[in-house]
Amino acid sequence: MSTDMYGVRVLAVDPDELRARFQVFVVYYDTGSRTHTPLPNEEPNTFLHFLWEAASGYLDDGDERKGPLGHVVSTDQLLDYEWADTNARRFISRVERVERRNYPLSDKQWEDMHDFYHERGGSWQDEDLLIQAEYEIQVTDRRWLEPLSVGDGWGSAAFPLNGDSWTAEDSPHIPDLARPAVTLRPFETTTGSVTYDHINGMDFSDDGTYLALCSDQGRVWVYDTADWSEVVHTRADGWLVPLMMWVPGGHILVVKDYSSGNEPEEEKQWAYDVDRRAETEAPFQAGNLRSRDGTYGISPNRAGEGGFDLHGDEREPSRRLSHAGTWDPIQCTAFSGDSSRLFLGAQQNLYVVDPMAGEVIDKVDHASKRLFTLASNEDGSYLAIGSFSRKLSYLEFGQERPHELCVWRMADKKIILGRQLRSYVDALSWSPDNRCLAAALEPLSKQSFHRGKTEVAIFPMGPVDD
């Protein structure tokens, strides 16, 4: 018999409007450590469990679920957490927490709490003491609500998951992470040893005509985005940690050493004219990242925060940027396509910078257990982020710790789309025309990392329901 995590009661139901209101109680506590099951967030899959449990009812003599949702969603599907993460939004299109009570519990309140609260006829002992919240849900079909009646109550062994919650309004602006349009395999066309090599840099040209890749060993590939054909495959040798950038306004690539900021940056680089298919000369590209229009760049600072300073065309940074006020090393960076925002991903925190003001204007605390790489769309309204998996608590991978590729909606700072990967996310780049997202993915391996196996998945915009 499973231990209930929540108690659920129906407060209102309107099948014609596809809406219902639930009261959800936390009924599992550890009074010794003063911890408890968290209240559900606003992602749909926990509520899919609630609806399924209520609408399906008990098993009948034929071992079949009686409710309409039980006929559509099997027990095996519901307990397949990857399936539930991806498909819950097909049944529940919106969840909004509208009220919360008794959270957090005070020391005095904890003294009155028990570890378990069991459902008895749709009620729970000391309901007024329990951590609880009310939720408005919107479903996709009135059938999912028809078995509900106001006052219904039941215990649930569901627990919070991390499912997709994007909407029809989001769809044109976000990538379909389930269906790569193209998969590029750059190392298949290379020669020589690829031991220790992998993709460490990737970027679309300013006009989106080309996608360029650079490897840790200085290999350079360029693909024509019209048909994804490989048009350049060359080598930029002699760089300790190669850093690749496009020269603003054209199709010239440069490769140079990554600057740590410990010493002034040496003005030395390799330049290649993609249109002419030849090495060339180009003005030195200062810093570690630039905005697409070339207005802003960033260089490591010495403020003791592990961050970056902003600069324009001048060599030395012109704006000291204090992103944290304390040591919080930045792991990944991205400008929005229109240069209005700079995103700084630390190990766990995400900072949003206004480059014009040179100030942090927003922050997401504990955005992830670890942020590795990120990319922004044109106006900074959506981010693609490669991070440690949010799903390791309920998906088993043994000693392997793969990444998850997520899409953030920055209007409300919510992860609305995520895919658990059997690979590591080495680099991300969002195309200027919002046509696709490119992701450099290094497969899991029992052997050492970086063996020339990285693939580049091109995800088109506009996920659709299966």
pLDDT digits over 117-159, tens only?
999 988 999 999 999 999 999 999 999 998 899 999 999 988 8
* 171-460 CATH fold: Methylamine Dehydrogenase; Chain H (2.130.10)
Q: How far, CA to CA in Å, does 145 sit from each of 74, 78, 158, 255, 393?
A: 17, 18, 19, 58, 30
Query: Is 60 exceeded by the pLDDT of residue 60?
Result: no
Each residue's pLDDT tens digit, 244-257: 999 998 999 999 99
Residues 6 or more apart in contact with residue 313 via CB below 8 angstroms: 294
Query: Is 90 exceeded by the pLDDT of residue 291?
Result: yes
Q: What confidence score (pLDDT) does residue 15 get?
A: 93
* Residue 406: count of CB within 10 angstroms of its CB: 23
Query: Is 50 exceeded by the pLDDT of residue 464?
Result: yes
Query: Is 80 exceeded by the pLDDT of residue 87?
Result: yes
Query: Is 80 exceeded by the pLDDT of residue 216?
Result: yes
| Residue 143, amino acid | R
Query: Is 60 exceeded by the pLDDT of residue 220?
Result: yes
Over pLDDT 90: what percentage of the chain? 64
Query: 396: buried, middle or exposed (CB in 10 Å: 19+, 13-18, 0-12)?
Result: exposed
Concatenating the DSSP letter of every residue in 99-151 gives EEES-SPPHHHHHT--SB---BTTB-TTGGGS-EEEEEEEES-GGGTTT--TT
Each residue's pLDDT tens digit, 106-126: 999 999 999 999 999 889 999
Q: What confidence score (pLDDT) does residue 392 get?
A: 63
Give me the chain's average pLDDT, please: 89
The C-alpha atoms of residue 139 and residue 145 are separated, in whole angstroms, by 8
φ, ψ at 242 (rounded to 5°): -65, 135
Query: Is 60 exceeded by the pLDDT of residue 103?
Result: yes
Each residue's pLDDT tens digit, 428-441: 999 999 999 999 99
Q: What confidence score (pLDDT) does residue 58 get?
A: 45
Residue 396 confidence class, pLDDT cut points 50, 70, 90 = low
Query: Is 50 exceeded by the pLDDT of residue 398?
Result: yes
**Cross-strand bridge partners of residue 460:** 436
The residue ranges of every structural domain in the chain are: 6-156, 171-460
Q: What confidence score (pLDDT) does residue 437 get?
A: 98
Give me 183's structure tokens: 């998969």
| Span 395-403, average pLDDT | 62
| Span 39-56, average pLDDT | 87
Burial profile 41-77: b = 16 or more Cβ within 10 angstroms, e = fewer: ebbbbbbbbbbbbbbbeeeeeeeebebbbbebbeeee
Return the higher-pLDDT residue of 290 and 397: 290
φ, ψ at 463 (rounded to 5°): -65, 150
Residue 1 confidence class, pLDDT cut points 50, 70, 90 = very low
| Span 75-85, average pLDDT | 86
| Span 180-209, average pLDDT | 93
Q: What confidence score (pLDDT) does residue 245 get?
A: 96
Sign, Cα dihedral of 85, 86, 88, 92? positive
Q: What confidence score (pLDDT) does residue 63 get?
A: 45
The C-alpha atoms of residue 242 and residue 200 are separated, in whole angstroms, by 8
Query: Is 70 exceeded by the pLDDT of residue 394?
Result: no
Each residue's pLDDT tens digit, 412-459: 999 999 998 888 899 999 999 999 999 999 987 666 667 788 999 999
| Span 50-68, average pLDDT | 64
Return the higher-pLDDT residue of 59 and 395: 395
Residue 301 confidence class, pLDDT cut points 50, 70, 90 = confident
Each residue's pLDDT tens digit, 340-383: 999 999 989 999 999 988 899 999 999 988 899 999 999 999 99
